[in-house]
Amino acid sequence: MRHLLSAADLDAAETTGILDLAEEMALVQGRPVKKLPALRGRTVVNLFFEDSTRTRSSFELAGKWLSADTINISAKGSSVSKGESLRDTVLTVASMGVDALVIRHMASGAPLQAARWFAELGLGVHVVNAGDGTHEHPTQALLDAFTLRRHFRASQPDAGRDDHQPFAGRRIAVVGDITHSRVARSNVELLTTLGAGVVLVAPPTLLPAGVDTWPVEVRDDLDRVLGEVDAVMMLRVQRERMSGGYFPTPREYTVGYGLTRARLGLLRPGTAICHPGPMNRGLEISADAADSAGSLILDQVAAGVSVRMSVLYLLLGGADESGAVR
Amino acid sequence: MSPTSPLTSTPTTTDVLVLGADLAGAGPANLLIRDGVFADPADARPDAVRVDAYGLVALPGLVDLHTHLREPGREDAETVTTGTAAAARGGYTAVLAMANTSPVTDTAEAAEHLLDVGRATGTAQVVPIGAVSKGLAGEELAELGLMARSPAQTRVFSDDGRCVADARLMRRALEYVRAFDGVIAQHAQDPRLAGPDACCDEGPVSGRLGLPGWPAVAEAGIVARDVGLAELTRSRLHVCHVSTAETVDVLRWAKARGIAVTAEVTPHHLLLTVDELLGYDPTFKVNPPLRSAEDVAAVREALTDGTIDVVATDHAPHARHDKEHAFVDAAPGMLGLETALAVVVETMVRPGTLGWREVATRMSSVPAHIARLGGQGRPLAVGEPANLTLVDPTRRATVDRAASVSLSRNNPWHGRDLPDPVVATWWAGRATYGR
């Protein structure tokens, strides 16, 4: 794996490999001293063109726990605001001798473009997409899969279900603003690769063009979906969309598509509740749902560090030739 | 002819006798270029430069209705000198220069200045297009009449890049230019419907890539409105760079109704599809965006049956740094002048859809007529201005963006095997390109 740009680039075996390694990395999280020497001497730069708290700190912790030198650059309001091109900005950072660039950008495709420019110049920098516009957020999908896999293995050990294929036959609902959600796109790619069925639930205004060509089921009645799925993934309603005419009022959105207290009763026992955060409590998810027994939201946050450790480790060659973790 | 051909240094006072060229599909004949016009070949002087053109096709010099020369204001991307050199290399003898320069061509003085620069430094006729609205702001009419009555004799007006979205302003513009036989060339893009960042045909590709969609109806809707306004005002409307099947349907309806509407298609909309965007390469960012294969088929059919009247390049050179941004932030546009005929040959001539006579019509005589250019797009006949493009219908080459004479390198055809048809160009009897 040279870069991690898109969940679509991962096949089932690669994905499972990342998740399996993340399980090992998760053990580090439980230790008093959270440090592996694997990436000592390697440098990882978090180049964030867009504000982020959890993703950036998650990548930062992941790098630090692997003993990489990790720095954060907020490109927002720096050279970019002085008119520098994206190419010049990423090449400037990459030319400092860094090993990996973790890039978040408000524009779709920016990390992929950076990887192409590096390739053209023969720079061996690894690129991780930490969220690009409304395109993809592959490590979010990986941490969602990690969390769900654990949940499925632990709480729903159906008779006859193959533990090595925990997603087979599962149905997962992704609810809300699909159009603008990079989380949704990456999850559609990854969850279907792993064998799960994905049901997108949204008002028609928040469904992307061409969604009928995606390998998913599309529904608009959340109440009828909730009792049919093994997990429900609520998407954040971005405040700036509320004046965009995508739905009449926040109240109407909540009535139609919020995971309200009343809707909790429609879920089958053991149904997982996920949310990529930050949550708008009372809008797309009620406090009752967010804090319920089925909620995996904090597990997702914890999984973020493990999964990103796994990704950085695999990209930067932390494994020896046998594939074993050093 | 070799790249060291003496054509480019041939003084205009010397006779040039072009032997045996197929005159736009009418069969082989000789042409004599003398003093800027075509003369009777039988009168050629003994010392005439003789050009062996057997097997070549002679076209009237091509006329581009839609060129961005970037001068004044962005001479780092293109100048009149380099832009017209690209034009000559592409077989063009006249280009209409879009008004969205800096400053904008929205006054008689600005138009006249560009005319003068063109005369002083151009290797093709430079015809200024005037802005429809002051500063392209879409609020008040520019000085349309003064530009028309200036030495530039502007007849084409456009806020290209910025749709004249205000229906009332569009109506007034159409009414006003009727007084001097002008035409409003509209970049049809409903700004509210497409949205400010629209950069990808709205469909499966935009949905998957997470790029802001540009729905086809945002083009067709404006064209539907504008043909209605053209009918109301009994004025001439020209639709820039038609990109969708829906727009073709509207044009077909309007023409059947007798409305005075003409339309253009670009070479890139004749060949490339939205799938080029899958790698987020800003070279392929253009406005309107590349569309679906069905749209490409529709615009080809429309060019064949005359629903779309002309091919225009929308030659849009950009400095490298203006393309080196994230896709949504990169400048839209691609080079076109040097390769337009190549793409038309590839998509329309080689498949047998258009003959050379139709190529001459759609790339020379009709664009000249729309712009009311008396000295361009004329037949290859004695007494006519010697605007001539010699074409080798069989030659192919791999496009190399480094070989361009444009100042910019945003060439969507780089690395692609295409026809390489243009052998030589004469503008008003002056050799402006030869290889």
Return the closest-CA partner of residue B10 out of B36, B42, B39.
Answer: B36
Q: Which pLDDT tens digit goes with each residue over A274-303?
A: 999 999 999 999 999 999 999 999 999 999
Residue A26 in any domain: the answer is yes
Residue A25 in any domain: the answer is yes
Question: Cβ distance A167 to A211 under 8 Å?
Answer: no
Interface residues from chain B to A (CB-CB < 8 Å): 202-211, 213, 215, 279-282, 321, 324-329
Q: Does the structure show a pLDDT above 80 at A241? A: no
Between CA B235 and CA B170 the distance in angstroms is 11
Mean pLDDT of chain A: 92
Residue A198 in any domain: the answer is yes
Q: Which pLDDT tens digit goes with each residue over B308-337?
A: 999 999 999 999 999 999 999 999 999 999
Q: Tell me the sheet residues that pair with B422.
A: B391
CATH of B61-380, one of 3.20.20.140, 3.90.1150.10, 1.25.40.10, 3.40.50.2300: 3.20.20.140
Residues A220 and A157 in one domain: yes
> What is the span of the domain harbouring residue A130?
3-136+302-317
A288's tokens: 């009752």
- Say whether A2 counts as a known binding-site residue: no
- Say whether A261 counts as a known binding-site residue: no
Higher pLDDT, B248 or A241: B248
Q: Does the structure show a pLDDT above 90 at A75? A: no
pLDDT at A320: 47
Residues A41 and A147 in one domain: no
Residues A46 and A64 in one domain: yes
Q: Which pLDDT tens digit goes with each residue over A263-280?
A: 999 999 999 999 999 999
Does A87 contact B328 at a Cβ distance shorter than 8 Å?
Answer: no
Q: Which residues of A touch B280 (CB under 8 A)?
A: 108-109, 112-113
Mutate to test the interface with A, among B211, B280, B409, B414 (most CBs of A within 10 A): B280
Q: Which helix (H) or strand (E) holds A324?
A: none
Residue A282 in any domain: the answer is yes
Between CA A181 and CA A202 the distance in angstroms is 12
Q: Which residues of A touch B278 (CB under 8 A)?
A: none
B210's tokens: 């997470």
Maximum distance among all Cα pairs of chain A, rounded to whole angstroms: 61
Q: What is the DSSP letter of A214?
A: S
User: What CATH number corresponds to the domain at position A218?
Assistant: 3.40.50.1370
pLDDT at B3: 36
* Confidence class for position A244, pLDDT limits 50, 70, 90: confident
pLDDT at B13: 66
User: Which stretches of chain B drop beneath a pLDDT of 70?
Assistant: 1-13
Q: What is the dihedral of CA B174, B178, B181, B182, to 10 degrees?
A: -20
Q: Where are the domains of chain B?
A: 61-380
Interface of A with B in 176-235 (CB under 8 A): 179, 182, 185, 208-211, 213-214
pLDDT at B4: 36
Return the closest-CA partner of residue B264 out of B239, B282, B287.
Answer: B239
Report ipTM (2 d.p.). Answer: 0.91
Mutate to test the interface with A, among B324, B401, B409, B414 (most CBs of A within 10 A): B324
CA distance B212 to chain A (A): 9
SS3 B410: coil
A151's tokens: 């949940």
Residues A117 and A248 in one domain: no
Residues A289 and A153 in one domain: yes
Between CA A223 and CA A232 the distance in angstroms is 12
Does A210 contact B207 at a Cβ distance shorter than 8 Å?
Answer: yes
The residue type of A185 is R
Q: Which residues of A touch B329 (CB under 8 A)?
A: 86, 107
Does A209 contact B279 at a Cβ distance shorter than 8 Å?
Answer: no
Does A86 contact B211 at a Cβ distance shorter than 8 Å?
Answer: no
Please spell the DSSP secondary structure of A145-180, one letter per residue.
Answer: HHHHHHHHHHH---TT--TT-TTTT-EEEEES--TT
Residues A150 and A112 in one domain: no
Does B329 contact A113 at a Cβ distance shorter than 8 Å?
Answer: no
Residue A238 in any domain: the answer is yes
Residue A82 in any domain: the answer is yes
Residues A155 and A249 in one domain: yes
Residues A186 and A170 in one domain: yes
What is the torsional sign of CA B272, B273, B275, B276? Answer: positive
Q: Which pLDDT tens digit goes with each residue over A13-46?
A: 999 999 999 999 999 988 999 999 999 999 999 9
Mutate to test the interface with B, among A81, A106, A113 (most CBs of B within 10 A): A113
* Confidence class for position A1, pLDDT limits 50, 70, 90: confident
B139's tokens: 């609020």
Residue A181 in any domain: the answer is yes
pLDDT at A77: 58
Q: Which residues of A touch B202 (CB under 8 A)?
A: 209
B226's tokens: 């504008």
- Smallest Cβ–Cβ distance between B280 and the set A106, A113, A209 belongs to A113
% chain A with pLDDT above 70: 93
Residue A325 in any domain: the answer is no
**pTM of the model as a whole:** 0.94
Residues A127 and A234 in one domain: no
* CB-based burial label for B141 (10 Å; 0-12, 13-18, 19+): middle
Between CA B17 and CA B426 the distance in angstroms is 12
pLDDT at A81: 61
B116 carries an active-site annotation: no
Residues A111 and A181 in one domain: no
Measured CA distances, B109 to B95, B183, B313 (Å): 19, 20, 26
pLDDT at A239: 80
Residues A289 and A308 in one domain: no
Return the closest-CA partner of residue A207 out of A104, A134, A131.
Answer: A134
For residues A194-204, average pLDDT? 97
Residues A179 and A235 in one domain: yes
- Say whether A82 counts as a known binding-site residue: yes
Between CA A200 and CA A207 the distance in angstroms is 9
A261's tokens: 């207290």
Binding residue ranges of B for substrate: 68-70, 100, 287, 318, 332-333
SS3 B226: helix
Catalytic residue of the set B314, B322, B392, B420 = B314
Query: E strands within B202-271?
Result: 213-214, 236-239, 261-265
Give me the number of domains chain A comprises: 2
Our measurement of the distance from residue A213's CA atom to the centroid of its chain's CA atoms, rounded to an integer in Å, reads 22
pLDDT at B2: 38
pLDDT at A238: 86
* CB-based burial label for B247 (10 Å; 0-12, 13-18, 19+): buried
Residue with tokens 């590096």: A118
CA distance B317 to chain A (A): 17
Q: Which residues of B touch A209 (CB under 8 A)?
A: 202-204, 206-207, 213, 215
Does B210 contact A133 at a Cβ distance shorter than 8 Å?
Answer: yes
